[in-house]
Amino acid sequence: MRSARAALALPIALFVAAVAAQTPAPSGDAASATAPVEEPRTARALRDREFGVISRQFGLDRRVEMYQWRATANGYERVWNAAPIDSQDYAPGHQNPPTLPLENRRWWSDSASLDGRPIEAGVLQALGEWRVFRPNFSRLPANLAATFQPEGDGLGSAENPLDPQIGDLRVSWRELRLPPLEGKLELVDGRWRMSATTAAAALNAAPVPAPVAAPEAEGAHRMWPWFGGGALVIVIALVARRRRRVQAKANAAAE
């Protein structure tokens, strides 16, 4: 009996060994797709060279506002606005400069990585969080240092910040920071991208742009079609690509 059991055990052991040899081990990509080890990082700093501002985060945003006249139901008022307010039809003494001497600008990191693998730009645009920060103005060029002085978290051109004049400017900056990404990304072809679940959640949570009711809202919403809308397009493309791959695999299995 003992010899019969031994004879039976040998082929079973060989069968188990063969199955184990044919079963692929989890790849490094698959393991890190569910549990990133390190924090996201960027290899190159972002620079606003005009002002010498540097950020080591994943995006840099410069917002420029100008002090201007705005027509109201009761006359005129002076406001800070991020876009020029057309004053061609305003009463004498209420004219605004036709343009902003400085433009609003935004920079995105092209070297973002996680666990040594690159992060797709769509992840930054859809999941990143903009936060105000006060730069170090030690690199401010001399010509701008003669015009601007520190004001709040940014710079202002008013001689008296408590009494700005029409045409005065103020400039502020924001950095793009990434929230915890564990469980939100997947590693595909050596690049981190949003998982289908995260992409769908980001798409469903995207706010519908509200109608612009007042001129001062123009500057705040002007860049939305390019950046907010661009992020939505990327999210939709990611979800569609994911679905096509799943359908292709299902069709191949059926054949």
Q: Which two tokens stand for residue 134?
A: 């006060």
How do residues 61-96 score in pLDDT, each as one tens digit?
999 999 999 999 999 999 999 999 999 999 999 999
pTM: 0.66
Q: Give the per-residue pLDDT at 78.
A: 98
Q: Give the per-residue pLDDT at 203.
A: 72
Q: How many helices (H) and strands (E) does the chain have?
A: 7, 14
Report yes or no on 82 lying in a domain. yes
Question: 28-49: buried (b, 16+ CB within 10 Å) or exposed (e) per residue?
Answer: eeeebbeebeeebbbeeebebe
Report yes or no on 1 lying in a domain. no
Angle at CA 57, nearest 5°, toward 52 and 63? 55
* CA–CA dist 199, 185 (Å, integer): 9
Which of 192, 233, 242 lies closest to 30, judged by CA?
192
Report yes or no on 4 lying in a domain. no
* Confidence at 202, pLDDT banded by 50, 70, 90: confident
Report yes or no on 27 lying in a domain. no
Report yes or no on 98 lying in a domain. yes
Report yes or no on 197 lying in a domain. yes
* Confidence at 113, pLDDT banded by 50, 70, 90: very high
In the chain, how many domains are there?
Answer: 1
Q: Give the per-residue pLDDT at 193.
A: 92
Report yes or no on 203 lying in a domain. yes
Residue 21 has pLDDT above 50, yes or no: no
Report yes or no on 53 lying in a domain. yes
- Are 81 and 215 spatial neighbours (Cβ–Cβ below 8 Å)? yes
Q: Give the per-residue pLDDT at 126.
A: 94
- Domain range for 49 is 34-254
How do residues 230-251 score in pLDDT, each as one tens digit?
434 433 444 444 455 545 555 5
